[in-house]
Amino acid sequence: MNNPGWVADSGLLHALLGLSTRHDLLGHPKVGASWEGFAVRQIVEGGRHRGLESNLTDSPTVTPSMRPALEHLRLAAWTS
């Protein structure tokens, strides 16, 4: 499948793309979409408003734009 679009269920995305190992996933251009879908599902199940900055990285950081967004939107938490 060339373009499965955005799929919230990362397991389904992996199946549609034929990804069966972690190595397959990390080498695929949709690895970021997979991580984002997983993160969104975890946040949505919490039932509260939360901010989400999604980037696949080994060293996450809080960016300067996150602090005022957290305060202005009165979010329960910021997850990165």
**The pLDDT of residue 60:** 76
**The pLDDT of residue 43:** 76
- The β-bridge partners of 51 are 78
Whether the full predicted model's pTM is greater than 0.75, yes or no, is no
**The pLDDT of residue 47:** 73
Residue-level pLDDT, tens digit, the chain, 80 residues: 454 456 778 888 899 999 999 999 999 998 988 888 887 787 777 777 666 677 777 887 777 877 787 778 777 665 55
Q: Where are the alpha helices (DSSP H) in the chain?
A: 10-17, 22-26, 31-44, 66-72
